[in-house]
Structure 1
Amino acid sequence: MLGERPIDAILLVTDLDEAREFYGGTLQLEVIEANEKTISFRAGETRLKASLSTTGTKDEQTQASWRVDDVRAAVEWLRSRGVQPEEYDTDELKTEDGVADQGDAYVAWITDPFGNVLGVEQSKS
């Protein structure tokens, strides 16, 4: 049953106006629903929800990831919107021009104004 249903990603934010500007303005996601505690944005056939929190996120792992056909084109588009991809150079993770080869996919990461880490992923298959 649930395997056939869309799922919403919910991100914690400390300022809904800033969330609307980043996701709706910078990333150009359509606002489909909003109230005093959440804003829902259309992201393909799914929704990304920004939920008001007094503390924001404390997690440094990827919270949500977009599947794209061309990760490098997505990175260039993000840069054109003023969003810089994260760069990593560790034993476990290395990026080159914002993109990491993860074996089965090419992945780039950005961080929203609230510390949520978001991925952009291109499958190799």
Structure 2
Amino acid sequence: MNQDGRNPLAEGRVATRLPAADLDRARRFYAEKLGLDPVDERPGGLLYRCGGVDFVVFRSAGTSPGTFTQMAWEVDDIEAVVTELRRRGVVFEDVDLPGLRTRDGIADIEGNYPSKGARGERGAWFRDSEGNMIGIGQPVR
């Protein structure tokens, strides 16, 4: 909290940053597989905008472990999105864990996102060209 009692983080915007060992490879993946082109670029990174929210893919010597969701899109029709992305060559993760199992690339997740007024979520995951784990979710109301 600052001196006037406001929380600058709560009033700020969240921005995702995804590491990339090879920006040219990442650009091709995001364009060819996801249909996205950067809205701005600098020598060290690519800026994308989706639904009024920005994310950056930046050149990094480090690599993502790809063991957890680093960024996700919330969609209205997960089946249609998964079908389209598969058509473009995106490979979805198979998950088989206690309480979380994908069927045809999509998992039903009970009780997820209760703060959004949903009783659960349907989810799917894939890795980008740099190993970042990307999610797609659809709230179940």
Percent identity between the aligned chains?
Answer: 34
Q: Which runs of 4+ in 1 moved over 6 A?
A: none
Q: 2:51 & 2:37 partners in 1: Cα distance?
A: 10
User: Which of residues 80, 83, 86 is equivalent to 1:76?
Assistant: 83
Q: Which runs of 5+ in 2 are unaligned?
A: 1-7, 111-119
Cα offsets for 1:52-101 (capped at 9, x unmatched):
11122124100001000011111001101100211112224200000000
Q: 1:40 & 1:24 partners in 2: Cα distance?
A: 13
Cα offsets for 1:16-48 (capped at 9, x unmatched):
001111112321113111111110111111112
Per the alignment, residue 123 of structure 1 pairs with 139
Aligned residues: 125
User: Which of residues 35, 41, 49 is equivalent to 2:48?
Assistant: 41
The 8 Å contact of residues 24 and 41 in structure 1, kept in 2 or not, is answered as: no
What root-mean-square deviation, in Å, do the aligned CA atoms of Structure 1 and Structure 2 show?
1.5
What TM-score does the superposition give when structure 1 sets the normalisation length? 0.91
Per the alignment, residue 23 of structure 1 pairs with 30
Structure 1 or 2, whichever has the larger Rg, is 2
